[in-house]
A and B are shown apart, each in its own frame.
Chain A
């Protein structure tokens, strides 16, 4: 279905702003399929913003994103998502299995209920993250690590080809961390492409094939061993781009921007 030459994800000159204040400038990235990519950078560097705008969850003020050579709209169903744990209400009245089943909703038509096959698939995904015994629990009765694994199982149930994961390792126990990375590696071996927002430098080096160093724009993107250098990390975290963020502030404050014709 996909020839190797088509990148799983191609981002061209992507600019994203919140309230006219730019958060990402001119991002250019092309990721070939079958990679496990870590996105790292300091707080406020726009990591979550990057993956959210790749999935069309945030409005984009410039540039474009293509998934397997197609605009995002035509590629729904091939994209899976693991949001940050805090983004949902864990008191919501659903069971663990219900949440995992949500991953299957995209492939069911309007008005159709998930059937037996979907249930089986969901249970298999739960088994992969070792949560099968918890299938009928209400989701608030889970530890943080277990909640994260539920999200992972849901993403597996989506059976996507490209996954975006927002800090899946944040605040989880060691067992969960191992379980997650095992699953991620399995996915990669199955030819899937995975982008993971990550904040821990030492493990970043172990976990990922490629790293995307981000701080409002792409500082570096390449194989981990080439990119994980003191110099580039210093450049990413060292705040060399204070001017850029200063100007971003000015843009947000000044009521201007946007309009104006081109000379």
Chain B
């Protein structure tokens, strides 16, 4: 296993004053990539050291992107294999647990917990004296659980609200961790600790032991989720019901918190303390936008988590050792943005499109309705409606009405023949329905809801487009199949329309057209 000689880390310590100078190598963070040039050449000079360095240091050879990408894909480098395995495991574990975090509305609990593990990381290191994964795992898990326990202790014994308690615990534990880390840095073996990778993550620093531990924890997470799926589901959805059904909700909660702490801790090395909560929340939230079922959501979340993990590890490799955590989080955020914008049902674009087509339908139906009114004034005669009258009625120009009529024609609702517009059978049916809905609704509002007749029109304008079949039937029953609306007009049913048309044909041409438009027709 190759772990690089971590560059010397100078910390912000009071004694550092003398060492501060304007030269660029003020301090070199483990994750700060653009190390000063001098340091870089020194590193090259001691080539044996350089060869032993981690992925990021190997990457400094000046190879192009594609060479690096190919090297990553070929998996010849053991640290690449470890990084990849780590990214997949962490994506899986965090994604699964994140699903529950999101549906239980505990997103920020994950955030607090992930910051609270830091003093445990330092304590584990102190205890073992080296960066021993198991010691760090135990220390960090305990610290994380203590952190969540502190949050509940604060909220239950004081008036402080949960958000305050979370913020308080998050930063206080984190500060303790930073104090301890900066103290470790000045220990004789502290500079070798590589413990700085815990802040922003460095997948390349993962070793075989780390991967072993990650596998165990991830297997435990998967196992618990598989075995306890229905218990987790019901306690997440309705804790009150779960308790009344005799489920041990408190234990389920504690188990979940424990797994969460464990998953966060094993992910630390790769993602870092600061951003690990995002790997819990973001992939799961993206999945939440795409499906309505919890099990599908968990699978998707795990998938997104793994993809983001791999992308992050890859980016860190080809990007000359950029910190892995931010790259993974950016990948996950991109997935989220994609789901947010392009989700087939809940996506912003899908909704915008639905609204647009809905508006289009409303526009067409309103045009049909206007045409119906003209036809009605013509006593349902066999002639079509003149384009001129139509334009006048809609208070629009001939060109505008032309556009509308063409749109109706493409939907097979009307036909246009020499300046005259005719309903198709489908168009006539739809126009009748709209007018019928409108008038039924107006009648309902005035008769049953005591709304003044002069107020009902605007409501009906909106309602007519959305009334479902069942509601229309209910309205008819309620109104005793009334035929006349509050303004004294016919409420057209298909049969009545048919009869009216028939009557119009029987009538001799001429006198019947008394109510029509003013002379526009020839």
User: Using a CB–CB distance below 8 Å, which chain A residues touch chain B?
Assistant: 13, 15, 25-26, 28, 62, 91, 140, 216-220, 240-241, 243-244, 246-247, 250-251, 254-263
Contact = CB atoms under 8 A, between A and B. Distances in A.
B471 interface: yes
A260 B463 contact: no
Given A247-B471, A262-B461, 13 more contacts: A13-B458, A25-B451, A217-B449, A246-B474, A250-B471, A256-B358, A256-B362, A256-B466, A257-B466, A259-B358, A260-B365, A260-B465, A261-B363
B359 A263 contact: no
Contacts, number: 89
Report which residue of B159, B366, B455, B456 has the largest number of chain A beta carbons within 10 angstroms of its beta carbon.
B455
Nearest to A215: B449
Contacts of B475: 243
A140 B159 CA distance: 10
A257 B467 contact: no
Given A62-B458, A243-B474, A250-B467, A259 B362 contact: yes
B227 interface: no
Interface string B496-520: 0000000000000000000000000
A28 B394 CA distance: 30
B448 interface: yes
Interface in B390-408: 394
Contact of A261 (B351, B366, B450): B366
A251 B355 contact: no
Interface of B: 159, 351, 354-355, 358-359, 361-363, 365-367, 369-370, 373, 394, 444-445, 448-452, 455-456, 458-459, 461-463, 465-468, 471, 474-475, 478
A128 B466 CA distance: 53
A249 B38 CA distance: 70
Interface centre among A25, A218, A254, A263 (most CB of B within 10 A): A263
A106 to B, nearest CB: 28
Contacts of A26: 445, 449, 451-452, 455-456, 459
Contacts of B456: 26
A103 B459 CA distance: 39
B479 to A, nearest CB: 10
A15 B461 contact: no
A255 B351 contact: yes
A255 B467 contact: no
B288 to A, nearest CB: 19
A263 B404 CA distance: 12
The majority secondary structure among interface residues of chain B is helix
B239 to A, nearest CB: 22
Contacts of B359: 256, 259-260
A243 B463 CA distance: 12
Contacts of B474: 243, 246
Contact of B451 (A217, A240, A256): A217
B270 to A, nearest CB: 41
SS class, residues of chain A in contact with chain B: mixed
B444 to A, nearest CB: 7
B467 A219 contact: no
A26, A219, A258: most-surrounded residue (chain B CB, <10 A): A26
B141 to A, nearest CB: 34
A69 to B, nearest CB: 21
A250 B345 CA distance: 18
21 contacts: A25-B449, A26-B452, A26-B455, A26-B459, A91-B159, A217-B450, A217-B451, A241-B448, A247-B466, A247-B471, A250-B468, A250-B471, A255-B354, A256-B361, A259-B355, A259-B358, A259-B359, A260-B465, A262-B366, A262-B461, A263-B370
Nearest to B456: A26
Contacts of A243: 444, 448, 471, 474-475, 478
A251 B159 CA distance: 42
Nearest to B356: A259
A255 B471 contact: no
Contacts of A256: 355, 358-359, 361-362, 465-466
Contact of A240 (B351, B362, B448): B448
A197 B80 CA distance: 68
B388 to A, nearest CB: 17
Contacts of A263: 366-367, 369-370, 373, 394, 461
Given A243-B474, A260-B362, A260-B363, A254 B451 contact: no
A113 B366 CA distance: 57
B303 to A, nearest CB: 29
Query: Ordered nearest first, which 8 A-B pairs have the shortest CB separation?
Result: A260-B362, A256-B358, A263-B370, A259-B359, A26-B451, A263-B366, A91-B159, A26-B455
Nearest to A217: B449
Contacts of A260: 359, 362-363, 365-366, 461-462, 465
Nearest to B159: A91
Given A243-B478, A251-B463, A260-B359, A218 B366 contact: no
A251 B451 contact: no
Contacts of A28: 452, 455
A154 to B, nearest CB: 22
Most B CB contacts (10 A, CB to CB) among A218, A240, A244, A255 go to: A255
